[in-house]
A = this chain, B = another copy of it.
Amino acid sequence: MQNVQDYIQKNKQRFLDELIQLLRIPSVSADSAFSQDVIDTSEAVKTALENAGCDTVEICETDGYPIVYGEKTIDPNLPTVLVYGHYDVQPPDPVELWNSPPFEPVIKETETHPEGAIFARGACDDKGQMYMHVKALEFMVKTGQLPCNVKFMIEGEEEVGSNNLGVFVANNREKLANDIILISDTGMIANDVPSITTGLRGLSYVEVEVTGPNRDLHSGLYGGAVANPINALTKMIASLHDENNHITIPGFYDKVEELSQEERAEMAKAPFSLKAYQKALDIASVDGEKGYSTNERNSIRPTLDVNGIWGGYTGEGAKTVIASKAYAKISMRLVPHQDWQEITQLFKTHFESIAPKGVTVKVTPHHGGQGYVTPIDTIAYQAASKAYETTFGKKPIPQRSGGSIPIVALFEKELNSKTILMGFGLDSDAIHSPNEHFGVWNYLKGIETIPYFYHYFTEMKR
């Protein structure tokens, strides 16, 4: 691989400017108010892939937001890399907590990113990391160093469950045929501790509605005499964890993969400072399932979290009312072998069964996906490991992530190919939070590292 660093240095400003343009478009897939922006973003991605050197790029319509597909074939006999990413982003709220507008990107230096970081919704998740692949392709094509065939599949519904990707993949097995799927939608431990994600958690996301009286009631005239839907909801949610923070849904843990002491000991070797972790979050102590470390709790163990709750009067001042309805959004992170649809059903059955008298309960599944674990003895992992070693100067650590990319399991099932997760973001980049950012160093380091993966992977495949 020649002069990749020179090329990046020469084009650094343009690489940043192009990403910033993409980040200006508020492609919030969860909120229909932004639907035109999401569509505009798909067009922008199409243009970027064409400029980067793809032979053909198409906008593939779905029942939801379109999927941008592009490819460059240099020789059918050479291996093919399929790059997956997404151009949609999480909602920016609470907007008031952003130090600069979420869709007006700015570059600022931080303690972790002395060379500056781009602050904007989607900077890291996933526009920034997806765009690294576009620019890596540009480099390989423009300098005649693309060693294999490449396909891009960039979707616009990842943040809302990739509801239409499954159908698209099932209907396009031929077109999407590949030797390895490459994704940058995860993180690494630190800029001086590169890591490769070898595991992802599954997800089951549901919304619950508790209904009491048919109208809001005066809490003085009815208080104490009728079930209060908000009190009922808090009791139901509270009962989902026991005193050891184990989840109480019957059958929830039945299929959970228990790691051996050896595997846990291996995991425990990853550098981690509980003190720094707590300091970064301003918390006096961590909390979680009894018998597991913090890193185990957010990677190899399933969890249940309320992501949102609302009901009654939430405005300024006081209103003495008993609400007719109360709501919550609840998500469960799952580990390998837990089937998300089965878990969703277990939740539904259990949650409806614990409704106290005087209220009715409705559980609506939002979306979900399976967990995933990849072995580290594959060619793809070895090629990725060597690529990091080349550009970071040290061997990356295999690491399980607590996040979910449901479609990874789908790809394995439908396309029968493995996925390699080369993430260049950091946990501290605040994805899904106010002030999301992505280090300029990380962005450029990704562009530098990816071509080496292509190079080593093609070489090893021979």
Contacts and interface: CB of A to CB of B under 8 A. Distances in A.
Interface string A290-303: 00001101100111
B319 A90 contact: yes
A251 to B, nearest CB: 19
A385 interface: no
A268 interface: no
Contacts of A432: 216-219, 319-321
A199 B343 CA distance: 51
A434 B323 CA distance: 11
A314 interface: yes
A281 interface: yes
A223 B311 contact: no
A82 to B, nearest CB: 23
A241 interface: yes
Nearest to A366: B318
A160 interface: yes
A225 B307 CA distance: 15
B283 A220 contact: no
Tell me which of A231, A298, A327, A357 has the highest count of chain B C-beta atoms within 10 A of its own C-beta.
A231
Interface stretch (A133-141, A165-173, A399-407): A399-407
A305 B225 contact: no
A329 B357 contact: no
B219 A307 contact: yes
Tell me which of A94, A309, A360, A403 has the highest count of chain B C-beta atoms within 10 A of its own C-beta.
A309
Contacts of A32: 316
Oligomer: number of copies: 2
Contacts of A49: none
A206 to B, nearest CB: 9
Interface stretch (A207-215, A252-260, A412-420): A207-215
Contacts of A94: 216
Interface stretch (A232-240, A374-382, A440-448): A232-240
A282 B366 CA distance: 28
B317 A306 contact: no
A30 B314 CA distance: 11
B234 A306 contact: yes
B301 A224 contact: yes
A223 B298 contact: yes
B160 A318 contact: yes
Interface in A161-212: 161, 187, 201, 203, 205, 207, 212
A218 B333 CA distance: 11
Contacts of A427: 221
Contact of A223 (B213, B231, B322, B333): B333
A344 interface: no
Given A187-B221, A220-B403, A319-B432, 4 more contacts: A218-B403, A218-B432, A285-B358, A307-B312
Interface of A: 29-32, 90-91, 93-94, 97, 159-161, 187, 201, 203, 205, 207, 212-228, 230-231, 233-235, 237-239, 241, 281-289, 294-295, 297-298, 301-303, 305-323, 326-329, 331, 333, 356-360, 366-367, 401-404, 427, 430-435
